[in-house]
Structure 1
Amino acid sequence: MIAETTAGPVRGVPDGPVTAYLGIPYARAGRFAAPRPVPAWNGVRDASSPGPAAPQPPSRLERVMGAFHVPQAEDCLSLNVWAPPGGGHPVLVFVHGGGFTSGSGGLAWYGGAELAAGLVVVTVNYRLGVLGFLRAPGVSDGNLGLHDQLSALAWVRDNIAAFGGDPGNVTVAGQSAGAQSILALLAGGRARGLFRRAILQSTPAGMAPDSPADAERNGRLLLEHLGTDPFDAPVDDLLAAQGAVARGTAAPLSPVPPFQLVAGGLVPEDLTAAPGDVEILMGTTRDEAAAFFAGDPRAAAMRPDELERTAARWFGDPGRATPGGRTADRIAADMVTDHMFREPARRLARTLTDSGNAPWLYRFDWDPGGPYGACHCIELPFVLGTEAAWRDAPMLAGTRPSRLVREVRRAWTGFVRDGDPGWPRGTTRHFS
């Protein structure tokens, strides 16, 4: 249960039939600095518990996924590996979502022990919010969290063989902001050679990267709210200033965070211009944005004309807030699902198909009968984690069919292993 990394040996712990190596540092970074290699350590490093999460406020999606309380620290660049016996296994690297503001690869929700049957599973922490995505001249150029992800993928390339993984057969998967990050790396070409396949789960591709000017405006607001040197300010003060910017700049109920990907350099303006040399499995859930709006009294109180104006502020396109017997919160959810998830996914699929790289498509339709339907994040419990880890997630309404767990994991595993999720390329599989 000892694996040798480029920085030194690590000792894992049994986790069912596999060995878990948790909290392995893959890089180090000072505040607002680029990630750099981890210094070598002496002796065998204990890898029995996840590393701290990046500093963050409570998740906006607590009401659908549930709350989590884990240690947080700026020194957060670690990853977790679940390794089955033997060697030469395909590798799945998972990048968590959370709107570039919350989440952690070390959460029990993303545990890889059950999925790691014939696969090596890796989950990653990266910097979030103002610490990961601030752009302010003299402080940060932005996209530090994306640089962290690149460093993690480079670590996998250089180290995963020691855990029984095949560095030539790596698939990277991401959900929500994690999928958006992967799309940016694909479109920008900076991850070339680091993975051969990608799984894009609920990519918010309708949320364009911020322009440098917009990002720098939010950066100036952050520094004004902070009122002190950002390099020396307490983390809690940075998070408080981040929250003040979010409250002061967002359109009502906007799902777009104030600190996210910034176009330029690492990130192209058009994320849907993905290259055609990486095999892609991609899809959405049926009711994506219900996670943000269903049952929200602020959305329910909005008139159709207000919804149209709000959509125009979010996406530059007012859409059509036609009632059709729906409540205002459901209209808002449907509009955002179309603008942010469904239509951009269709455009990306057409682009890939036209380039000769048709993706495998899916839609997650399973609905437990609760208020959120088949909402954003609903597929996650069927990919990673255990029944116990997801037991209290409100979006599941107390149920998680084992049949569907097997179906989804069979598809994901087949794609990671040999590029075959179980249905023809260019067609859509509905999970229900």
Structure 2
Amino acid sequence: MTDVVLISSGQLRGERTADGLTVFRGVPFARAARFAPPEPVAPWDGVFDATRHGPISPQPPYRAGAVMGEPGSGLVQSEDCLNLTVTTPGTEGRRPVLVWIHGGAYTTGAGSLGFYDSAKLALEGDVVVVGVNYRLGALGYLRLDGVSPGNLGLLDQIAALRWVAAEIAAFGGDPRRVTVFGQSAGAHSIACLMAAPAARGLFHRAILQSPPLGLKPAGARTASRIARYFTAALRADPRTAPVEEILAAQQAAIVRAAGPGGLYSVPPFCPTAAGPLPGPGRWLPSAAEAARDVDVIIGTTRDEMATFLTGKPGVVRLEALPVLRRGVEAVKKTTTHWVFERPSLRFADQLAEAGGRVFTYRFDWAAPDSVYGACHCVELPFLLGGETAWAGAPMLAGADWPEVEALGELLRASWLSFARTGSPEAAGSWPPHTPGSPAGVRWSGPARSPRPSTTP
């Protein structure tokens, strides 16, 4: 069964699912030439078939596959990738809207991956959920004079939010109650969006899951260095080179930037301190200026860096030496603290000091047989996707899916309550953050989570 809606560009046909939801896939929200800002979509004649996923941004193999499992196949890659997925319980009424911005180190991922299926959120919360595809890697974040201004992926996200503001009512959503939520690079993107004047007023609440806020937008010098790595590997005009050559040069730049052993895993293709972002040093202070207008949840996982370091060849060699094993674990904990936990809590302090309502958490649950612990990405199966999508995830080794679902029901209830009311207390007590305090709640298991935190 299908449903048809009318938006400003024309008619869209979505697919009615067995559980009563309607899903509109591959919906174009903008168009863009290579290295050009997004522009509005031209109207179409007839009915656009939105029953199949649209293309995703060209990208290398999935970066976190060793931890999350492989995302599956079947999604076409194309530079014509500015599309989104809308999942709605019905096209009548005005429901809260959640907009998902996926992670993947600004290089991989898509809002349309099976990992990010939003059916449970839409059903349990009676909300409309939007998953966004945006440009990645060099195509989205290369900053090269005379070729690309940088931050194109961020401009794509702003274009998607403008589309939501203009069109979501046709899908039963309320454009005055928009919550953006994202993980990793997606959460980092949300902090950037909070700092970008062009995004002000396009969302009203924000959930930042594991944002690497210790990584600032790249300055001009760093962006120029990455551009040199890229052009040295490409040896052709980036504006006309085949996309396969673009990806190969991108990977060469990533490897070169990562250094010996690949231990420096900071994404080289990422937002830069240029339009639409403020200049260097003004990123998070500018984001905090939105505190009174945007309610925020922000949190991290206990063992973030395990995703990036556990199993790395260089790390494995070090861990093989008993005298160094304890030091390696200390490095993982210290890096987790400085890249993820500490800057997230400092940002929460800034928001609270500016008069905002902000809630903090730490996700401590870990699967019994996983070597990754409570790693980066481990909370995702509790919010999005289903048992089939996550069946091959090493980070869930030994976990019973009913246990995942039990904790997931509580976590989703909190996210949904926040989207609806601005308070995440549906699953238990969760006081607002006060400056200088540790994470507000710890998520560790269905019998104990969320629970107030009293220790750092």
Shared fold (TM-score, shorter chain, > 0.5): yes
Paired letter, 1:360? F
Q: Does 1:135 align with 2:143?
A: yes
Number of residue pairs matched by the alignment: 413
In the alignment, what sits opposite 1:424?
431
Distance 1:144 1:75 in 2: 13
CA distance in 2, matches of 1:388, 1:60: 20
Q: Deviations over 1:147-167 (max 9, x none)?
A: 000000000000000000000
1:324 Cα offset (Å): 10
- Alpha-carbon separation, structure 2, partners of 1:424 and 1:184: 26
Match of 1:296 among 312, 320, 323: 312
One-letter identity of the residue aligned with 1:52: P
Report if aligned partners of 1:300, 1:327 keep a CA contact under 8 Å in 2.
Answer: no
| Rounded Cα–Cα distance in structure 1 between residues aligned with 2:138 and 2:172 | 36
Say if 1:302 and 1:328, in contact at 8 Å, map to a contact too: no
Q: Deviations over 1:183-215 (max 9, x none)?
A: 011123321110100000000000111111220
Does the aligned pair in 1 maintain the 2:318–2:324 contact within 8 Å?
Answer: no
Question: In the alignment, which residue of structure 1 is the partner of 2:78?
Answer: 73
The equivalent position to 2:297 in structure 1, one of 271, 275, 281, is: 281
Shift of 1:256: 0.6
Structure 1 residue 168 corresponds to structure 2 residue 170: no
**Counterpart in 1 of 2:28?**
25
Cα deviations by residue, 1:32-57 (Å, 9 ceiling, x for unpaired): 01100011111111111211110011
1:314-369 deviations in Å (ceiling 9; x for gaps): xxxxxxxxx99954542332122111101101110111111111411111111112
Which segments of 5 or more consecutive residues in structure 2 lack a partner in the other structure? 434-438, 445-456
Whole-Å separation in 2 of the counterparts to 1:174 and 1:404? 19
Residue of 93, 97, 103 corresponding to 1:87 = 93
The match for 2:11 is: 9
What amino acid maps onto 1:425 in structure 2?
P
Aligned to 1:241, the other structure's residue is in SS state: helix
Matching residue of 1:309 = none
Specify which of 209, 216, 228 is matched with residue 208 of structure 1. Answer: 216
**1:124-181 deviation digits (Å, cap 9, x = unpaired):** 0000000000010110110000000000000000000000000000000111101111
Secondary structure in 1 aligned to 2:371? coil
| Counterpart check, 1:109 vs 2:121 | no
How do 1:378-389 residues align onto structure 2 when only pairs under 5 Å count?
378-389=378-389
Could you say which residue in structure 1 is the equivalent of 2:450?
none
Distance 1:296 1:329, change over 3 A: farther
Aligned mate of 1:59, from 58, 62, 69: 62
Partner SS, residue 97 of structure 1: coil
State which of 96, 104, 108 in structure 1 corresponds to 2:102: 96
Q: Which residue of 2 is the match for residue 227 of structure 1?
A: 235
Gaps of 5+ in 1: 304-322
Following the alignment from structure 2 to structure 1, what is the Cα–Cα distance between the partners of residues 37 and 45? Answer: 25
Moved more, 267-276 or 403-412: 267-276
One-letter code aligned to 2:305: A
**Which of 243, 259, 270 pairs up with 1:260?**
270
Q: Distance in 1 between matches of 2:106 and 2:389?
A: 22
Amino acid in the other structure paired with 1:200: L
Q: C-alpha distance in 2, partners of 1:154/1:421?
A: 26
Contact 1:295/1:371, CA 8 A, preserved across alignment: no
**Equivalent AA in structure 2 for residue 336 of structure 1:** T
177-186 vs 248-257, which deviates more?
248-257
Matches within 5 A, 1:287-366: 287-302=303-318, 326-366=325-365
Identity across aligned pairs (percent)?
48
Query: SS at 2:175's partner residue?
Result: strand
Task: Tell me the TM-score normalized by structure 2.
Answer: 0.88
Give the TM-score normalised by the residue count of structure 1.
0.92
**1:387 aligns to what SS in structure 2?**
coil
What is the aligned partner in structure 2 of residue 307 from structure 1?
Answer: none
SS at structure 2 position matched to 1:346: helix
Find the residue that maps to 2:223 and give its secondary structure.
Answer: helix
Secondary structure of the 2:202 match is: coil
Distance in 1, Cα, partners of 2:131 & 2:410? 22
Cα offset, 1:59, TM superposition:
2.2
* Contact 2:318–2:325, Cα closer than 8 Å, also in 1: no
Equivalent residue number for residue 50 of structure 1: 53
Confirm or deny: 8 A CA contact 1:111 1:384 kept in the other structure. Answer: yes
Greater displacement, 241-250 / 118-127: 241-250
Q: How far did 1:387 drift?
A: 1.7
Structure 1 residue ranges (4+ consecutive) displaced by more than 4 angstroms after TM superposition: 323-326
Q: Check whether the contact 2:220–2:273 (CA below 8 A) recurs between aligned residues.
A: yes
How far apart are 1:266 and its partner, in Å? 1.5
SS at match of 1:114: helix
Question: Cα distance, 1:249 vs. partner?
Answer: 2.2
DSSP 3-state at the match of 1:32:
coil
